[in-house]
Structure 1
Amino acid sequence: MLLSAAAAASLLLPGVRAWGAMGHETVAYVATDFVAARTRDYFQDLLADTSADYLAAVASWADPYGHTEAGKFSSGFHYIDAQDSPPSSCGVDLARDCGEGGCITNRLLDADLESSERQMAAKVCTIALRIYLMVIHFLGDIGQPLHNENLEEGGNGIPVEYSGDETNLHHVWDSEIPESVSGGSSMLSARSWAASLTTGAYLFPFGPKRVHTIKSGIYESQAAGWVNELSLTDAQNIALGWATESNAYVCSTVFVGGVSAVEDQDLSGDYTTTAQPVVSLQMAKQGYRLAKWLDAIASAV
């Protein structure tokens, strides 16, 4: 489905953002550091943005678009409702968990699309049952464990506190925990966190003091495995693997003590400390995967 000029204007509308805008921007900035030069040129031209922010600037666009009349078809495409039984059993099954509305589709590879239409497609890659193509936003979404879980609407229905403020479990994983690592919610926070995940460099002194990086240490040795056998022609199975991987954290970390261990509890202490390494790993992983996925797209067009 293509966007009209009116729908394109909805880019400015506010909306709920998975991972928080800062989280999505972090994934995009990580990807920016790993895409091939040809990919960078292709997407900068496609998005009419030659700045270093060309991916981060559109990373959250799919969220407000899903709240518009034109984009409401995509509102359910940000997640998959795994109907498993955490914390005793976690797992994703497409036939069981992906409804008639689907989970991912893509128009980026359609050679008949005009440049303006490709630009819109790059900003909102929709999700359908048969094609899992995560580009920019949705590839970030799939890294959030609770975007791969049905229990209490992915934690949205579980009231918790964070530093004394009332919120819900999903929001804590979207925003509070990532921001506890990055030191803030701004694009500058995202850029700094991405730099720390990539090289260990810091743009300002509020970020984590010690991290693994994709260019050194444990992440470096793992990175090749994050994109093992990546192929545009096998998008559904690749996405299913990534969703299953994220969903596993629902049992091992999100609900490790069951719902009662988090419901109505303040999660700003030990719970956050335990979750931080998982969130950092998922940001690094999905950013690197996004880079390689965009490389594959740029090579195919």
Structure 2
Amino acid sequence: MKIILSLFLTASLGASSAYGWGADGHETVGFVAMSASFLAPKALSFVRSSLGCTYDESLGPAATWADEVRPEPAYAWSANLHFVDALDNAPTSCSVSQSRDCPDNQCILGAIANYTTRVADTHLSAVQRQEALKFLDHFIGDIAQPLHVENIAAGGNGIDAKCNGSSTNLHSVWDSGMINRLLPSKYNNSVTTWAAALVTRIKSGSYKCEASNWIACSSTTETVSKNHDSHVNHGIIPLECPLVWAKDSNMFGCSVVFNFTSGQDLCTSSYYDEAIPVIEMQIAKAGYRLAAWLNSIFDGATHLP
């Protein structure tokens, strides 16, 4: 059944302000997944028929829906599902634990498990399955954003930062600040151009050798319980792969994310040069994983190299 949060919503910055990648980043994740050779036949057919003309039959335009409805009272329960507050000690040590960080499954780890089940449930209505697809489209993007898997200062929302001369916070810099500089400077300010470039890197460029490792965890049924790291809560059985993906993203908190000095402009300095390759790789990774995940759900395997 759908995750429903208790009536109290934490007043932390993490719950109120943590938006992932921004619209451009999320759309790019969706467009990467929509690459002609990535989605297998049954997955592609479901995506097109489910999303329909409202979303141009594409995961790209649909990827922002979960952020768009989040401020609405009817979707207030979804606020905490966009992230997991990893109670680690970044940047000294980084880790994510399902039992420690998401014991009630009311976080992005439980959300991906929940909507993986729902999107394949033919007993649900077309509207419910479309909603599940749009949540997966968005959350598999969110979990690739390092500050969506980190508790420090509410995922960086409480850390003052500067981007292109303007005052902001670290989370916002990663969500959109650096992307807003990247797109016009390298991709003609086009998310489809960016997505096409990332797809090329996956197929034949700098990501080719590592892309298979990105989807090494692709089972939509393998549970975390086998590692004694969590238990069933709210009727949701936590899955291994979302935890693997979260750990992968979280490690950047110990290498790149917090590696700056006070007052440094993060969008015009060496920090940008170090962070942008991570952002591009994480966007590509999320799109490739999204395609592999949907293929596994609908076609029984990733059908990807």
Q: State the TM-score bracket (shorter-chain normalisation).
A: 0.7 to 0.9
Distance 1:290 1:187 in 2: 25
2:102 to 98, 102, 126: 98
Distance 1:62 1:239 in 2: 18
The reply on whether 1:283 has 2:283 as its aligned counterpart is yes
Alignment of 1:1-301 (within 5 A): 17-33=19-35, 34-49=38-53, 54-100=58-104, 102-103=106-107, 104=111, 105-106=114-115, 107-124=118-135, 135-183=136-184, 189-199=190-200, 213-234=201-222, 236-256=239-259, 261=261, 263-268=262-267, 269-299=269-299
Distance 1:16 1:152 in 2: 11
Tell me if the contact between 1:27 and 1:284 (Cα under 8 Å) persists in the aligned partners. yes
User: Aligned-pair distance for 1:121?
Assistant: 2.2
Distance 2:88 2:291 in 1: 31
Tell me if the contact between 1:16 and 1:64 (Cα under 8 Å) persists in the aligned partners. no
Residue 150 to residue 187, structure 1, CA distance change in 2 (3 Å): farther
Distance 1:58 1:229 in 2: 25
Tell me if the contact between 1:19 and 1:174 (Cα under 8 Å) persists in the aligned partners. yes
Distance 1:121 1:29 in 2: 18
User: Aligned-pair distance for 1:43?
Assistant: 1.0
User: Aligned-pair distance for 1:156?
Assistant: 0.3
Root mean square deviation of aligned Cα: 2.4
User: Aligned-pair distance for 1:19?
Assistant: 0.1
Counterpart residue identity of residue 238, structure 1? C
Residue 226 to residue 146, structure 1, CA distance change in 2 (3 Å): same
1:141-172 deviation per Cα after TM superposition (whole angstroms, max 9, x unaligned)? 00000001000000000111111111100000
Distance 1:270 1:48 in 2: 43
Distance 1:217 1:123 in 2: 29
Counterpart residue identity of residue 22, structure 1? D
Distance 1:138 1:120 in 2: 12
Deviates more, 1:241-250 or 1:92-101: 92-101
Tell me if the contact between 2:41 and 2:299 (Cα under 8 Å) persists in the aligned partners. no
Distance 1:114 1:51 in 2: 18
Distance 1:102 1:120 in 2: 17
1:7-27 deviation per Cα after TM superposition (whole angstroms, max 9, x unaligned)? xxxxxxxx9741010000011
Residue 63 to residue 51, structure 1, CA distance change in 2 (3 Å): closer
1:36-92 deviation per Cα after TM superposition (whole angstroms, max 9, x unaligned)? 233222111011139766111110111122221221111001101011111110110
Structure 2 regions of 5+ residues with no counterpart? Answer: 3-16, 224-238, 301-305
Distance 1:277 1:220 in 2: 15
Counterpart residue identity of residue 293, structure 2? W
Deviates more, 1:163-172 or 1:233-242: 233-242
Tell me if the contact between 1:145 and 1:247 (Cα under 8 Å) persists in the aligned partners. yes
Distance 1:214 1:243 in 2: 21
User: Aligned-pair distance for 1:109?
Assistant: 1.8
Per the normalisation by structure 2, the TM-score is: 0.79
Counterpart residue identity of residue 148, structure 2? H
Deviates more, 1:105-114 or 1:41-50: 41-50
1:114-160 deviation per Cα after TM superposition (whole angstroms, max 9, x unaligned)? 22221222223xxxxxxxxxx20000000000001000000000111
Counterpart residue identity of residue 170, structure 2? L
User: Aligned-pair distance for 1:94?
Assistant: 1.2
Tell me if the contact between 1:141 and 1:147 (Cα under 8 Å) persists in the aligned partners. yes
The count of aligned residue pairs is 261
Identity %: 42
1:251-276 deviation per Cα after TM superposition (whole angstroms, max 9, x unaligned)? 1001135xxx2x44321211111101
